[in-house]
Amino acid sequence: MAWCLHDAGEDFVVIDNLSTGFEWAIPQSVKLYEGDITDEKLLQTIFHNHDITAVIHFAGSIIVPESVSNPLKYYNNNTAASRTLIEACVKNNIKHFIFSSTAAVYGDPKVIPVSEDAPLSPLSPYGTSKLMTELMLRDTAAAHDFQYTALRYFNVAGADPEGRTGQSTRNATHLIKVACEAALGKRTHLGIFGADFDTPDKTGIRDYIHVSDLASAHYLALKRLREGGESIVMNAGYGDGYSVLQVIDAVKAVSEVDFEVKTEPRRAGDSPKVVADNSKIMSNLDWKPQFDDLPTIIRHALNWEKKLQFKNSL
């Protein structure tokens, strides 16, 4: 997002506690406040030092099974921390807010592709923690001069096509990242978490969206709010579903490495199939995805993984 805003010539600052992020991941010219969004004093300093008109809020924890074993971490880091940030925005008269929500709010959707008005029934504390933030935003927008956009992310993958940044968190659990690591020999094998789902090849189906297309959706959502757009909640996905086996085959084809794959038990909190109905985002934003192609997503992820290997060995 920082690179997207930078490329568009926007003036912005970043706050990050660097718990999973890296200082080098943002353009050098961008001011970074290292700290937590629960630090009200730091937020006041930032709002005092800069003429902030909008906040794009990505901070949070994102691992579904971890949220099942440690729910209070998620209610603290996702829900309570967001409350502090939203309150600071209201106090400082910041009217526009963009929030990273998740497809996990749907749980195990009965109708695929899933649209925004489907029942909300998260299967994990992660999904619930994000849904609670959506509800706080809804109620805040009803009470104050405050408009928000919540983007319900499907499975974010890929990396900056120019190779400037990519997913770099150690011990990441994302399927495409893990598969790329296996292809590069950073892992001995890849585990398939469940091959007994009610899907054509029995493995889980997800809608993988390229990170750069997701960033551009945020930027368009920001412009829409600036132009007077009302608060809105939208799915951010392509509407294409791929099974774990299809992703593995695609990573093997792109990398030309036949890494080892083992079937393992299901993970707690995993849905069998989640694919976006993206008609709402398509009709509300002038969004034209550039990388809606699984091999392209994988190629960018793999290129980044190779670069990261080099970075880490320095």
Q: Which residues are catalytic?
A: 126
Tokens for 165, please give them.
Answer: 């940044």
CB of 267 to ligand UD1, least distance (A): 5
Q: Does 213 bind ligand UD1 (CB under 6 A)?
A: no
Q: Does 294 bind ligand UD1 (CB under 6 A)?
A: no
Going by the DSSP 8-state scheme, the letter that residue 100 receives in this structure is: E
Residue list 28-87, contact with ligand UD1 (CB under 6 A): 62-64
Residue list 146-205, contact with ligand UD1 (CB under 6 A): 153-155, 173-175, 178, 190-193, 204
Q: Does 107 bind ligand UD1 (CB under 6 A)?
A: no
Phi, psi torsion values for 124, nearest 5 degrees = -140, 155
Q: Does 244 bind ligand UD1 (CB under 6 A)?
A: yes
Residue with smallest beta-carbon separation from ligand UD1? 204
Q: Does 206 bind ligand UD1 (CB under 6 A)?
A: yes
Number of residues that bind ligand UD1 (CB under 6 A): 23
Residue list 9-38, contact with ligand UD1 (CB under 6 A): none
Q: Does 210 bind ligand UD1 (CB under 6 A)?
A: no
Binding mask 109-148 for ligand UD1 (x = CB under 6 A): ----------------------------------------
Nearest to 153 by CA among 269, 92, 223, 234: 234
Strands 155-157 and 189-193: unpaired
Q: Which is nearer to ligand UD1, 113 or 146 (CB)?
A: 113
Q: Does 229 bind ligand UD1 (CB under 6 A)?
A: no
- Quote the distance between the C-alpha of residue 191 and its chain's center: 22
Tokens for 191, please give them.
Answer: 């585990």
Q: How many helices (DSSP H) and strands (DSSP E) are in the chain?
A: 11, 12
**Segment holding 242, helix H or strand E:** strand 242-243
- 3-state class (DSSP) for residue 236: strand
Phi, psi torsion values for 118, nearest 5 degrees = -65, 160
- Quote the distance between the C-alpha of residue 86 and its chain's center: 19
Query: Identity (one letter) of the amino acid at 119?
Result: P
Note the residues at the interface with ligand UD1 (CB under 6 A). 62-64, 102-104, 153-155, 173-175, 178, 190-193, 204, 206, 244, 267, 270, 274
